[in-house]
Amino acid sequence: MSAPIISLRHVGKSFKDGEVRALEDISFDVRPGEFVSLVGPSGCGKTTLLRIINGLIAPDEGEVHVMGAAPQPGPDLAMVFQSARLLPWLTVAGNIEFVLQLKGLPGSERPARARALLGAVGLREFAEAFPHELSGGMQQRVGLARALAVEPKVLLMDEPFAALDAMTREVLRKELLQLWSRRGIAVVFVTHDIDEAILLSQRVVLLRPRPGRIDEIVDVSFPEPRWQQDPRTSPAFVSMREHLWDRIHDMVRDGAELEELAGAFGNVDWSTATFHRSFL
């Protein structure tokens, strides 16, 4: 087995001077070319974890290694956000050329590269359009093309399809799987959609909220390529889905009780408050 491209060891992170514990004791590896999903209810620090892997923020505890070194924002790590985050004053091609310039590609090579990438996501004829002239799904495709344009070793995706309609989401998932299998990039995919996580990834990292920590890591093996036969009707998919949902329901129930307690008694210490479960 090859060396991990991303490795996290006992990573912890707090906000507001340690008052809010966002992440605790997170350890897992991502191998080159692997597709890993981070799943969990809101407040479990999924996005924070992604930003730590990107090097946008530093962890308070533990170690993060991306390709053997501390992560640094740059062309090896490309991010796709929930909204496309395109620069509205640049054309679609201009947006891609912008990150190619950040990567240090000479100006003469940028236009052709940008157009090639737009071709890969089916938007070649929209190169000169402005972002606001595109639909949300098309904008997100541009976001994906921009991330792939810098030829990253790791693609970080922060709920990239959450704001899209169901049909567009379905189409883009398929395209993402195709692009991923062709390029052999490692993908870390944050989502709160269990089906999406199982459908796309080879491993699902389930996180618990408050503080965010790993609940379970589930291996997913369906026959590849997945975009040709939908695994959602297979018994294996159904049982995995059920299992993950059970875990999440537990977490959400715990969380709701804790919040109720906090409301009733003011500031309750989270660690001693769990006794309440036995009443139910």
Residues 1 to 60: which contact another protein by CB under 8 A? 54, 56
Q: Which of 135, 228, 229, 239 binds another protein (CB under 8 A)?
A: 135
CA distance 2 to 25: 24
Cβ proximity to another protein, 135 vs 274, nearer residue = 135
User: What's the chain's length in residues?
Assistant: 280
When asked if residue 227 is in the footprint of another protein (CB under 8 A), the reply is: no
When asked if residue 138 is in the footprint of another protein (CB under 8 A), the reply is: yes
Mark the segment that binds another protein (CB under 8 A) among 5-13, 132-140, 179-187, 235-243.
Answer: 132-140
Residues 68 to 87: which contact another protein by CB under 8 A? 72-75, 77-79, 81, 83-87
Give the nearest distance from C-beta 88 to another protein in angstroms.
4
When asked if residue 88 is in the footprint of another protein (CB under 8 A), the reply is: yes
Burial of 34 (0-12, 13-18, 19+ CB in 10 A): buried
CA distance 132 to 258: 43
**Binding map of another protein across residues 141-160, x = CB under 8 A, - = no contact:** -----x---x----------
Mark the segment that binds another protein (CB under 8 A) among 10-18, 106-114, 121-129, 259-267.
Answer: 121-129
Q: Is the Cβ–Cβ distance between 138 and 123 less than 8 Å?
A: yes
CA distance 258 to 264: 10
Instruction: For residue 53, give the nearest of 184, 207, 156 by alpha carbon.
Output: 156
**Cα–Cα distances in angstroms (integers) from residue 240 to residues 28, 46, 66, 233, in the given order:** 20, 21, 30, 12
Q: Is the Cβ–Cβ distance between 265 and 258 less than 8 Å?
A: no
Mark the segment that binds another protein (CB under 8 A) among 67-75, 109-117, 199-207, 228-236.
Answer: 67-75
* Residues forming the site for another protein (CB under 8 A): 54, 56, 72-75, 77-79, 81, 83-89, 98-99, 102-103, 125-126, 129-139, 146, 150, 167-168, 171
